Structure formats: structure tokens, C-alpha cells
Amino acid sequence: MSLLFSPYQLGRLTLPNRIVIAPMCQYSAEDGNASDWHVMHFGRMALSGAGLFIIEATAVEPVGRISPRDIGLWSDANEAALGRALQAARAYARMPIGIQLAHAGRKASTAAPWEGGRTLTPQQGGWQVVAPSPLPFDPQDAAPQALDEAGIERVVAAFAQAARRAERLGLDLIELHAAHGYLLHEFLSPLSNQRSDAYGGALENRMRLLLRVFDAVRAAVAPDFPVGVRISATDWVEGGWDVAQSIELARRLHARGSAYVHVSSAGLAPQQQIPVGPGYQVALAQQVRAATGAPTIAVGLITEAQQAETILASGQADLIGIARGILYDPHWPWHAAAALGARVQAPPQYWRAQPHGVKDLFLK
């Protein structure tokens, strides 16, 4: 029996298989409101046959958006618009749907990638960005505003409020975005956090904001509601955030009831040197899992069904994250099930698509 297509339990949530659609920004919202594009995108992902779909990085406050077109969950209007997109997907799909709550920190206020991804000034529709310290991501950019105590309290409260909205919408899971150089990761890494107060310096202090946010979100939702965290396990920069620190963080999160750790890497500093190749981040997930016992999602150039199966069978991870690959092939789980002799959920309108020579591919 295929491990990739075996069920997995995350708190009260039972996943039908271990394929997770990782969060992928769509840059298609208006004032944080999900648009018709999201209705189409959610529907496509929800009918893919994966075990879980996690909605893209969703800003908890306007200054936390990566771009002016980011989706958000800070207002009643955001909540209503997201609810409309979710309602359309749920009408035809049973897939569990989660959401990634995020704050972009010093990497906020940029144009969409297909518009060049440049930093936007206030005159260009951008805004003053915030960070742990007044250190820009790109030395050519204006310095971010270092968060003061009131700003930190505002951010913690914004995550908790967004979590309450997510649970009210009937979402099945929350993931906190502490990776890829965004605000929570910025506080973790000594490259971006040069504070001298209780939130900077020693590892204990640099972890403080993320742990406070996790505790606030955990307290804002039901006790058995799954809350996980995505981390960059390493900055791939000498003297930056690394695997040893990630392991200690994962221990703390696991003890607090984190449902899983979604192990990615990089994104914090332009000097990063990433050894990109097939499954290049899997070893990071394996190290976190082995040292802490925390369930892990492995992600990063996992493109083949047998590759994913081997990662699970060898104990390197508990779940497999698929991101850009499922944008390219929205039926990747179907093809993986066919290759591994497994079965997958699909809508009855598509049952006749089963390839010749493949039997009982679709669960009915």
C-alpha cells in the first residue's frame, strides 16, 4: 500500500492522503479581498485529489502584504470575500482547506512578480514597511521602521484576530508563516534582528515573537484546531539562522502543541547560496523530525511520485508539500496515484477521464 496515499491525522483533522498543496501567492486580490481569480484557483486546487490545500500567505494587517494585490484577513470585507471563494470550492470538493497567516515585514510593499517585483515607494502605491531592526532586505531600499513595543503587540493581536476569522470561515487548519525572510523569520535570524531588547540577541529572545504569536493563535481557536508553522530551516548564509536553531525552535513549538513543522529554507538575505536540486530541502525536514519527533512537511523540487513515496518510506518526513509542480500539473495527485497503484478522490464529472488500462483509480 502506498504511504503517499495513506491517511494522516493532524489534530482533529484526518487527511485522506499525504499530499499537501503548499501556499503559493497569487497576487490577485483587491484591498486584501479574494477575487474571482481565487474562486477559480481554489476550485482547481480543491479538485486536484491532494490531501490538503493551504491557501496562500494571507496578510494579517495591510502593511503586512507582500504586494498591494495580496490576499488579507484583517477586515470583515476580507472575511466575506474569502468566504465566497471557499463556498464555491466546497460545493464540489471535500478536500480539507487550511490557510497560511503571514506578515511580510521588510519584504512588504513590492510589485507583483510579473510586474518586476520591485519595491514600491508610497508615491507608487507602496507604504512604510516594518521589521525587527532598521535593516532593508536590499541595501538600495529605504530602511524599514523597527517595531516598537506597541507595534509588536499590534502584530500579535492581528495574528490572533485573523485566526478567529479563519476558524469562523470553517477553515480546517492554520499555518503561521515564519519562513522566506518575512517578519517572523526576520525576528528569528541574527542577520535581520539586531535588537538589544527582549526580542533580540540570544536565541531565546529571537524566538520570542514567533512563540508569542503561536500562543496567541493557539488560544484564539478551539483546543483541537490544528495550528502548524512554516520555517526556513536555514538562511544558507554564514552566521544566519541555521538547522541547530530550527531544531530548538521546533522543540518549543512541538511542546506547545504545534500540529507540524513545514520545513522550507532561505529567503532572508540576497547573499544566500542555495544548493538547488531534486529534493534539496528534504534533509532539513529529516533533521528536524529526527531531533524533535515533530511531524514534518517536506517541500522543494519533489516532482515524482516514487520520489515522494521514498521520502515517506525512509522516514524523512510525514507529509509531502507540492507547490509550483501542482500549478503546472493540477492533477499531479491523479498521476501519482496511477503510478503507485493507489486511488484518489475526484469529482464524478471527471471519472470517465481514467486512462485506458488503469482500473479503479478514482474513489467513488
Catalytic residues: 182
Count of CB atoms situated within 10 Å of the CB of 307: 16
What CA–CA distance (Å, rounded) separates 320 from 2? 13
Q: Identify the three-state secondary structure at position 178.
A: strand
DSSP 3-state assignment of 85?
helix
282 in Cβ contact with 290 (< 8 Å): no
Is 3 in contact with 312 (CB distance < 8 Å)? yes
Element (H, E) at 325: helix 324-328
Is 74 within 8 Å of 97 (Cβ atoms)? no
DSSP-derived secondary structure for 145-171? EEP-HHHHHHHHHHHHHHHHHHHHTT-
**Cβ count near 226 (within 10 Å):** 22
Q: Nine-digit cell at 117?
A: 517585483
* Distance separating alpha carbons of residues 12 and 6, to the nearest angstrom: 17
Give φ, ψ of 271 to 5 degrees: -80, 0
DSSP string, 317-358: -SEEEE-HHHHH-TTHHHHHHHHHT--EE--GGGGGGPPTT-
Q: Coil, helix or strand for 79?
A: helix
